[in-house]
């Protein structure tokens, strides 16, 4: 390489680093350093900033902490029930919206997408007021005749979970729908024509054509929703405040309580937060593998 070329190459490299340095530096400082620091904190215990090294005592403590167990189970219940319901619902909606000569298509799409525009706090408060014991949801269900007694949506451990699941599903179904609609536009219409001529019913077309072809997008939305639900916070704080009797307490809310509500124990809170990190890491690994197989 000539001197001039080497000089140009160096200039190219310097310019490249200049452009990315601010962003990389900030992510290193605001994401990578804290996540490592969090691991270090999890080996400590104490009140506030006065801490001492305890090794893996915090991990052991997890196993004897009923509140942690409860918040873990709650989070997993929300995940296991809400994510599949929402994915199936938004897939069904998208394939209806994708049907040929559907009237009012853009109006339906607009209406179903609109919930995504609301802030998490705002819609949580709406749901809290709608699901009040004498509120509009119970009144409507009683009027239609689906139930004969009002449901204690917010004050019963089981129904409060249902309320949270209903709320998240309302907020995010339209969001996922947009991804599916975009992916469906890339599916060749003639496949459906052929299936229709062969007498394949719409439901079977959906299961055997649409779903397999959308697999990558479905996986992507599943992982994004799972990570979102793992961090569930705004809704439970504002709808049920974790209650009744911790029945809607999530991991994120427990971490918040441990750090900022009770006498702060940052070390133990960091340990709980690493439970979420481990879940996310497993998902990331899974996504990476699938992306590589493609």
Partner 1 sequence: MKKIRLNRAVMYVFLTIIAVVSLFPFYWMIVSSTNQTSQINSGKFTFGDQFWINLHNLSEQVDLGVVFWNTSKIAILSTVFTLLICSLAGYGFEVFKSKNRDRTFNALLFTMMIPFSALMIPLFIMFAKAGLLDTHFAVILPTVSAAFIIFYFRQCTKSFPRELIDAARVDGVKEWQIFAFVYMPIMRSSYAAAFIIVFMGSWNAFLWPLIVLQSTELKTINLILSSFNSAYAPDFGLIMIATVMATIPSLVIFFAMQKQFVASMTGAVK
Instruction: For the CB of residue 239, give the shortest distance to partner 1 in the complex, in Å.
Output: 9
Task: Tell me: does residue 20 bind partner 1 (CB under 8 A).
Answer: yes
Minimum CB distance to partner 1, residue 182 (Å): 4
Asked if residue 191 lies in contact with residue 126, where contact means CB atoms within 8 angstroms, the answer is no
CB 274 within 8 A of CB 39: yes
Nearer to partner 1, 218 or 247 (CB): 218
Alpha helix positions (H), 155-265: 157-184, 189-197, 202-205, 211-213, 215-230, 234-239, 251-256
Among 120, 184, 195, 209, binds partner 1 (CB under 8 A): 120
Min dist. Cβ of residue 135 to partner 1 (A): 5
d(CA 187, CA 53): 57
The SS3 assignment for 181 reads helix
User: What are the DSSP E strand ranges found in 7-94?
Assistant: 44-47, 50-53
CB of 6 to partner 1, least distance (A): 15
Whether residue 70 contacts residue 156, with contact meaning beta carbons closer than 8 Å, is answered with no
| Contact residue for partner 1 among 27, 88, 191, 194 (CB under 8 A) | 27
Q: Which of residues 134-193 bind partner 1 (CB under 8 A)?
A: 134-140, 170, 173-175, 178-179, 182-183
The alpha carbon torsion through 119, 122, 124, 128 (nearest 10 deg) reads -170
Angle made by CA atoms 13, 19, 20, in degrees to the nearest 5 = 95
Q: Is 242 left (phi over 0), alpha (psi -120 to 50) or beta?
A: left
Q: Are 184 and 98 in contact (CB under 8 A)?
A: yes
x/- site string to partner 1, residues 41 to 70, per CB under 8 A?
x-------x---------------------
Contact positions with partner 1 (CB under 8 A) in 198-217: 202, 217
202-208 own/partner pairs: CB under 8 Å, 24+ apart: 206/91, 206/92, 206/95
* Phi and psi at residue 44, to the nearest 5°: -120, 160
- Interface residue with partner 1 among 43, 67, 81, 126 (CB under 8 A) is 126
Binding mask 76-115 for partner 1 (x = CB under 8 A): -------------x--xx--xx-x--x----xx-xxxxxx
Query: Which is nearer to partner 1, 117 or 245 (by Cβ)?
Result: 117
Looking at the Cβ atoms of 123 and 161, the one nearer to partner 1 is 123
Q: How many residues does the chain have?
A: 294
Site residues for partner 1, 251-280, by CB under 8 A, read 251-252, 255-256, 259-260, 266, 269-270, 273-274, 276-277, 280
Considering only 7, 37, 189, 204, the residue that binds partner 1 (CB under 8 A) is 37
| β-strand partners of 50 | 47
Minimal distance, residue 252 CB to partner 1, in Å: 5
Distance, CA of 266 to chain centre: 25
In the complex, minimum distance from the CB of residue 143 to partner 1, in angstroms, rounded to a whole number: 10
Q: How far is the CB of 122 from partner 1 (least distance, A)?
A: 5
- Return the residue of 38, 155, 205, 246 that touches partner 1, per CB under 8 A: 38
């Amino acid at each position: 390489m000539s001197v001039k070329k080497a000089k140009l190459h160096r200039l190219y490299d310097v310019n490249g680093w200049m452009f990315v340095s601010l962003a990389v530096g900030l992510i290193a400082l605001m994401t990578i350093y804290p996540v490592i620091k969090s691991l270090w904190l999890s080996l400590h215990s104490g009140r506030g900033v006065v801490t001492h090294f305890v090794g893996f005592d915090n991990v052991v403590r997890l196993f004897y902490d009923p509140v942690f167990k409860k918040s873990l189970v709650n989070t997993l219940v929300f995940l296991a029930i809400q994510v599949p319901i929402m994915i199936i619902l938004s897939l069904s909606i998208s394939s209806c919206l994708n049907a040929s000569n559907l009237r009012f298509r853009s109006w339906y799409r607009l209406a179903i997408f609109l919930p995504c525009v609301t802030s998490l706090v705002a819609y949580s408060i709406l749901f809290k007021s709608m699901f009040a014991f004498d509120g509009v949801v119970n009144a409507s269900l009683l009027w239609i005749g689906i139930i004969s007694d009002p449901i204690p949506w917010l004050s019963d451990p089981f129904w409060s979970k249902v309320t949270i699941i209903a709320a998240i599903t309302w907020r995010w179904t339209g969001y996922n729908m947009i991804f599916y609609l975009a992916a469906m536009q890339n599916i060749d219409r003639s496949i459906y024509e052929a299936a229709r001529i062969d007498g394949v019913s719409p439901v079977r077309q959906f299961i055997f054509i649409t779903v397999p072809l959308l697999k990558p997008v479905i996986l992507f939305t599943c992982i994004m929703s799972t990570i979102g639900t793992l961090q569930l916070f705004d809704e439970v704080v504002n709808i049920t405040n974790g209650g009744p009797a911790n029945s809607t307490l999530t991991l994120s809310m427990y971490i918040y309580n441990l750090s900022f509500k009770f006498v702060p124990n940052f070390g133990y809170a960091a340990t709980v937060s690493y439970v979420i990190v481990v879940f996310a890491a497993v998902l990331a690994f899974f996504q990476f593998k699938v992306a590589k197989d493609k």
